[in-house]
Amino acid sequence: MNKAFIEKHLSPGSRGDLGEIILFEEIDSTNAESLRLLKAGRTGSWIVLAQSQTAGRGRSGRSWSSYPGAGIYLSLVRRFTLAADALQSLSLVTAISLHAALTALGVQNLQLKWPNDVLHEKRKLAGILLELHKMGSTLHIVFGVGINLDLPEHAVKEIGRPVTDLNSLTAKAVDTEELIALFINALLPNVIHFEVAGFSPFQDDWNRLDCYINHDIVIQNGSQRIIGKSLGVDSSGAQLMQTATGRQTIIGGEIFPSLRERVAGSPT
C-alpha cells in the first residue's frame, strides 16, 4: 500500500480536509491507534491504515480477522461540533459512502445491513465500527472500516458466518489505493452534508439498498429479542419494525434473518 498513490486519487476537497495518512505494516488495531493519538492530544483529521491487525475489532466486542493481504483496515478520525446523540446514524452514512465507492470500482449487487454492514448476497463484505472520543468540549469520531479483500480459507472458517471478499466479486485485482481514496472522497462530503441536514437526505438511499427491508427479521439487543417485519429506517436512521404488538422504532441491536428465511435456505 502506497500513501502517495492514495493521495493521487483524493479529490482536492478531501486533500484539504485531511491531515496525515499514517500507514503501518502491522498494528493491533487502527481504531485503537487512532484513539491513542487522540488521548495523546492530536487534533484535526487523519487516516490510520494497516496491512494487518493483531487485535482487529468489530461490533459487540467481536474480533475482526485481519490477516496480511486479506483486507483493507482503515480508520478515519474527524472532529465534530454536534452533540454525541446527534451522531448515532453516522454509521449508516459511512456504509452508504462505502457502497458508493465499491460500486464506482465496478462491484455489483451490493446491499446494506442495518446499521453498518455492506453485503453481497447476504454475505458480509465490509463492516464499520464508529467510536467516539470526547475530551472536554471536543468530540472526535473514529470511523473504523474493514473490507474483505482476499480471505484465506482458514479465515473464512474462523469467522463462522457467511462472508465474501472483493477477490471473489471482481474479475481483476482491486486497486486498494484507489478504493481507499474513492471511499474518502464519498464519505467526507456526505459527513459535511450530514452535519448540516442530519440523516434525512440519506434515508431513501439507505432504504433502496437495505438488504432486509420488507423481510421478516429478528433484532437482538443484549437480552432483548424483537421479531417482526423490517420497514426500513426512519429519517433519523432508526430501524422501523412491524411487530405483533404494532410498529416499533429500534435504535440499537443487530439484525438476523427470521427462522423462516433460514429454513428457506438464505444465509445468515
Q: 116 near 128, Cβ under 8 Å?
A: yes
Using N-to-C axis directions, what is the helix angle for 90-104 and 176-197, rounded to 10°?
A: 140
Which pLDDT score is estimated for 264?
Answer: 47
Hey, what's the cell of 3?
500513501
Domain range summary for the chain, segments of one domain joined by +:
3-207, 212-264
Hey, what's the cell of 20?
496525515
What is the maximum alpha-carbon separation in the chain? 56
Q: 117 near 128, Cβ under 8 Å?
A: yes
Domain 3-207 shares a fold with domain 212-264: no
Q: 255 near 217, Cβ under 8 Å?
A: yes
- The string over 67-80, giving b where at least 16 C-beta atoms fall within 10 Å of a residue's C-beta and e elsewhere, is beebbbbbbbbbeb
Which pLDDT score is estimated for 57?
Answer: 66
- Residue carrying the nine cell digits 495518512: 21
Under DSSP, the state recorded for 69 is: T
Residues 6+ apart with CB under 8 A from 138: 43, 79
Residue with the bigger pLDDT between 242 and 55: it is 242
When pLDDT is cut at 50, 70 and 90, the band that residue 248 belongs to is very high
- Residue carrying the nine cell digits 419494525: 241
Residue with the bigger pLDDT between 118 and 53: it is 118
Tell me: the pLDDT tens digits for 160-200? 789 999 999 998 888 999 999 999 999 999 999 999 999 99
Whether the per-residue pLDDT at 111 is higher than 60: the answer is yes
Which pLDDT score is estimated for 268?
Answer: 42
Tell me: the pLDDT tens digits for 37-87? 999 999 889 999 998 888 876 555 555 556 778 899 999 999 999 889 899
Model pTM score = 0.91
Which pLDDT score is estimated for 159?
Answer: 79
CATH T-level topology, domain 3-207: BirA Bifunctional Protein; domain 2 (3.30.930)
Which pLDDT score is estimated for 261?
Answer: 52
Mean pLDDT (whole number) for 23-34: 94
Whether the per-residue pLDDT at 266 is higher than 50: the answer is no
Q: Which CATH class is domain 212-264?
A: mainly beta
- Residue 254: Cβ-neighbour burial (10 angstroms; 0-12, 13-18, 19+): middle
Hey, what's the cell of 114?
442495518
When pLDDT is cut at 50, 70 and 90, the band that residue 245 belongs to is very high
Instruction: Count the Cβ atoms, other than its own, within 10 Å of residue 259.
Output: 11
The Cα-based distances of 87 to 130, 140, 197, 208 in angstroms read 10, 11, 12, 22
